[in-house]
Structure 1
Amino acid sequence: MPELHRPDRSDRFDDELLGLDPADPEARAFAEHLDRMQRQRPAFTVEGYLDGVSHFADSANRAEGSRRWGAVLVVGLLLAVAAFLVWEAFVFVVTTWL
């Protein structure tokens, strides 16, 4: 009788990680890592860019210590630059109309 496909189990245990215990948390974490590393993303599309942002957010949420603070700093700088550009555009539009 064939085994039913479980969505929480990576297909890597059937192919590349044959012999490892799928119930082992370390083996599962390694399979998830391999899945993330070899994921095919759409390139040069809005979906591809959004997938990149979600990948960055997932990585930042898993990070600890200085890597997490580095991710917070990058996001803070990006938001500061975006706020500055919006303010400059707003000032340009207002001064043009006056």
Structure 2
Amino acid sequence: MNDDRSPRFDDDLADLDPDDPEARAFAAHLDRMQRVPSCSVEGYIRGVGDFADAANRVRGPHRTAAVAVTTVLLLFAAWVIANAVVFVVSTWL
């Protein structure tokens, strides 16, 4: 028996084998689904980490969509940062 076993196997998943990799993955999925969202920087970073983990697991068109969303977000962030730099530099000059 593993020491890092989810407590869900005692309550919600009592009839499943805790050593089965699919059952462990399902327990981890239930833990992620039940986590309360946090409106803090740490919560947002955790959400980005969850998105990255999910994007790394998928294949095919879902992965392409995840890469496209990530690219659009990075391009938007670069545009905002560039505009902020231009504003600050033009204000000081």
Name the TM-score class by shorter chain: 0.7 to 0.9
The aligned residue for residue 47 of structure 2 is 52
Are residues 24 and 77 of structure 1, via their aligned partners in 2, closer, same or farther at CA, if it must alter by over 3 Å?
Answer: same
Gaps of 5+ in 2: none
Shift of 1:5: 7.4
Letter of the aligned partner of 2:14 in structure 1? L
Gaps of 5+ in 1: none
- What is the CA RMSD across the aligned residues, in angstroms? 2.0
Are residues 25 and 97 of structure 1, via their aligned partners in 2, closer, same or farther at CA, if it must alter by over 3 Å?
Answer: closer
Task: Look at both structures and tell me which one has the larger radius of gyration over its CA atoms.
Answer: 1
The aligned residue for residue 6 of structure 1 is 3
Residue identity over aligned pairs, in percent, reads 58
Shift of 1:97: 3.9
Name the structure with the higher helix share.
2
Shift of 1:95: 3.5
Q: Which has the higher contact order (CA 8 A, sep 6+)?
A: 2
Counterparts of 1:1-98 in structure 2, within 5 Å, are 6-7=3-4, 9-41=5-37, 43-98=38-93
User: How many matched pairs?
Assistant: 93
